[in-house]
């Protein structure tokens, strides 16, 4: 059973030791502060947020270092379109090549107009390109976003979906949000606490909440969500790079299925903290057998000059 700490902004799952960190007790002073801020926001319309002048001026490299020559941009976009086409074909999605060429150009303009210029550790230019094109191709009428943070991916989703598509955005805290979509309904809770009605909907779910991706996969299977995007889909080789990994990730489940990892537990170090993962219960689960397609976003540094910010995958379930 997952436990959610809205004050630490963490999700606690039973598959690893959570760096021996426990949720804050109910008598924490943070509860008083958060409750006061919530009262002001709800009753007076005042939102308290502290920013330094330095933070307000900060921009990611995506918005401070980029190409402006039209010939180079056109050449780059042609190369990007070829990679996107190859990726979509591998994912067995139907599309027209001329549409992909158009989507790549659209995306570059959408990205530069982003209202959020400091993206943090989430999606960057490279990952956003695939998110945008995948949504355009699938054309859902409902997108679920679990894990919102500042709202950058919400902005990209809003820009990619049709006008009749709705968004449902879930997070255990919205205190860092900078962009809100008019197409979205916002829920400050985990999606499992009050699942939405998905009947007769063509749904795409974007999971970026650092919660066990096995649990999110179970949710999608139960609710028949065919199309899923899993951010921070790290394997056993690189999951130590994440400060709060979504154990087990989809890639980890495939590592176990392919018997790359055979031990039942092991330890690792992340940012000076020791973690321990327990695999016995995970190995007994069979949700992975419901996956038809699992396709990681490729690295685009050699074309865009930007490093990938995260490791995201498209997961398509069987019918």
CB neighbour burial string for 197-214, b if at least 16 within 10 angstroms, e if fewer? ebeebebbbbbbbbbbbb
Polymer length in residues for the chain: 319
CB atoms within 10 A of CB 216: 25
Token readout for 241 is 């790079």
Domain holding 237, by residue range, is 61-317
Token readout for 248 is 């087990």
Instruction: Tell me the average pLDDT of the chain.
Output: 89
Residue at 121 is within a domain: yes
Report the alpha-carbon distance of residue 239 to residue 236 in Å, rounded. 6
> Helices 97-112 and 70-90, interaxial angle, to 10°?
120
- The total domain count for the chain is 1
Residue at 27 is within a domain: no
Token readout for 165 is 């598509």
Residue at 276 is within a domain: yes
Read off the pLDDT of residues 127-182 as tens digits, 9 standing for 90 and up.
999 999 999 999 999 999 999 999 999 999 999 999 999 999 999 999 999 999 99
Closest to 81 (Cα-Cα) out of 38, 132, 45, 142: 132
Phi, psi of 269 (to 5 degrees): -120, 130
Residue at 181 is within a domain: yes
Quick one: pLDDT at residue 53? 43
Residue at 167 is within a domain: yes
Cis amide leading into 56 (omega within 30): no
pTM (2 d.p.): 0.84
Report helix, strand or coil for 102: helix
β 313-317/227-230 pair status: antiparallel
Which portions of the chain are predicted below pLDDT 70? 1-9, 22-35, 37-38, 41-42, 45-58
Residue at 56 is within a domain: no
Contact 256, 239 (CB under 8 A): no
Residue at 242 is within a domain: yes
Residue at 133 is within a domain: yes
**CA 94 → CA 100, 205, 246, distances in Å?**
11, 19, 30
Closest to 174 (Cα-Cα) out of 155, 150, 207, 195: 150
CATH of the domain at 270: 3.40.50.150
Report the alpha-carbon distance of residue 217 to residue 307 in Å, rounded. 28
Quick one: pLDDT at residue 63? 87
Chain centre to alpha carbon of residue 292: 20
């Amino acid at each position: 059973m997952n436990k959610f700490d809205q004050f630490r902004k963490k999700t606690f799952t039973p598959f690893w030791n959570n760096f021996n960190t426990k949720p804050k007790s109910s008598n924490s002073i943070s509860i008083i502060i958060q409750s006061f801020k919530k009262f002001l926001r709800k009753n007076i319309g005042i939102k308290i947020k502290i920013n330094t002048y330095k933070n307000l001026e900060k921009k990611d490299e995506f918005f401070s270092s980029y190409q402006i020559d039209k010939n180079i941009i056109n050449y780059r976009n042609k190369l990007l379109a070829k990679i996107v086409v190859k990726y979509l074909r591998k994912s067995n999605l139907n599309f027209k090549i001329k549409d992909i060429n158009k989507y790549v150009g659209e995306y570059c303009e959408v990205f530069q107009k982003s209202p959020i210029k400091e993206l943090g550790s989430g999606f960057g230019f490279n990952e956003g390109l695939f998110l945008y094109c995948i949504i355009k191709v699938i054309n859902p009428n409902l997108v679920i976003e679990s894990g919102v943070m500042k709202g950058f991916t919400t902005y990209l989703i809003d820009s990619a979906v049709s006008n009749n598509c709705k968004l449902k955005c879930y997070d255990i805290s919205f205190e860092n949000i900078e962009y809100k979509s008019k197409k979205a309904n916002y829920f400050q809770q985990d999606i499992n606490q009050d699942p939405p009605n998905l009947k007769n909907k063509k749904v795409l779910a974007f999971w970026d909440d650092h919660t066990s991706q096995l649990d999110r996969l179970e949710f999608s299977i139960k609710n028949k969500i065919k199309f899923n995007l899993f951010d921070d889909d790290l394997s056993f080789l690189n999951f130590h790079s994440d400060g709060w990994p979504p154990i087990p990730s989809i890639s980890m489940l495939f590592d176990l299925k392919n018997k790359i990892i055979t031990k039942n537990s092991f330890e690792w170090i992340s940012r000076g903290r020791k973690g321990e993962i327990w695999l016995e219960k995970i190995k007994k689960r069979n949700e992975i057998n419901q996956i038809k397609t699992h396709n990681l976003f490729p690295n685009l540094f050699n074309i865009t000059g930007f490093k990938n910010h995260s490791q995201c995958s498209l997961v398509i379930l069987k019918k």
